[in-house]
Structure 1
Amino acid sequence: MRKNTWAGVAAVVLCLSLTACRDTKTLQENEQLKAQVAELRKENGQLGNNLQTVTAARDALTKENEALKAQLRGRRTKQSRTKASTRKPRRS
């Protein structure tokens, strides 16, 4: 009976030590995952800021593009009037 008792105690100690190892490993994995989540949140914030900056730049460029197109339209109408009045009939 003593052998069975010692075997049972040894089995319990072995199981507890394995459980403790698993818990330690799990805790380490949790800490690593928490660090990764924190890093991803930081990157997400930076990307959000970059997105706002790029969107503002795009909007500014769109406005500038529209203004340039309007200027170009104004110049085209002036040039076409000038060219139309200076045309001379060709001689054959």
Structure 2
Amino acid sequence: MVEVKLFATFQKIVDSSELEIEADNIMELLGELDNRYPMLGDRLFVDDELSDNELRDNVMVLKNGKNIEFLDKLDTELDEGDRVAIFPPIAGG
């Protein structure tokens, strides 16, 4: 199991700040979140048939505190006990 921590609007969509999900990599984890919570999937992925599961701009995913952009992106492997944090785009100014 992987511990998933959600922040801000993502928490509100799933009505929880933490979940446990069985997944071998980030894409599988995000796909499971999309299956369970379609509204969350709509906010995670670009809504484009040509995007091939591309994350929306400014959605940040961390594995054990490291941004997946500096690992293997959506192919980043997960192991039992890993912690994944998912942040929505933040607006402000």
What range describes the TM-score normalised by the shorter chain of this pair?
A: under 0.3
* Greater Rg by CA: 1
Give TM-score scaled by structure 2 length.
0.15
Give TM-score scaled by structure 1 length.
0.15
* Structure with greater helix percent: 1
* Structure with greater strand percent: 2
